[in-house]
Amino acid sequence: QIDWKMLADRAWAARKNAYAPYSKFFVGAALATESGEIFTGCNVENASYGLTICAERSAIFAMVAGGANRPRAIAIYTPTSKPTAPCGACRQVLREFGRDLMVLSFCEGGGELTTSLASLLPEAFGPENLG
């Protein structure tokens, strides 16, 4: 069972650490692994916009740096009126580690979207495509 409330609380808290001086778009993410570990991430902007990192990828990179590689679920907070699903780059990075990953997007406006990564990125390219 996924503790969505706990993940959402951790994502909400992580958004406070976001570095978003340009967009003012403070995003937080919390990722749960199959073993129950939790890793958080936030967006980190850069004056050279292409070097900006999203919260979802930040959480994935923290997971890998922490020695884990089997995500089960991710909760993502955005300061929007409607839930915002991960961008394409984040979907692909999440897919690298979990085709069956469950995704909760929630927002300032109070809405929620719970879906699977497979629904967000059907027919995705992944490690198994390399041979």
Determine whether 56 is an active site residue. Answer: yes
Nearest by Cα to 5 from 73, 97, 70, 91: 73
Which value, to the nearest 10 degrees, does the dihedral of the CA atoms of residues 60, 112, 18, 41 take? -20
Which entry of 34, 37, 45, 56 is annotated as an active-site residue? 56
Please choose, from the candidates 40, 11, 1, the residue with its C-alpha nearest in 3D space to the C-alpha of residue 112.
11
Question: Which residues, in sequence order, are CB contacts of 95 under 8 Å at separation 6+?
Answer: 101, 117, 121, 124, 125, 126
| Cα separation, 98 vs 42, whole angstroms | 20
Catalytic (active-site) positions: 56
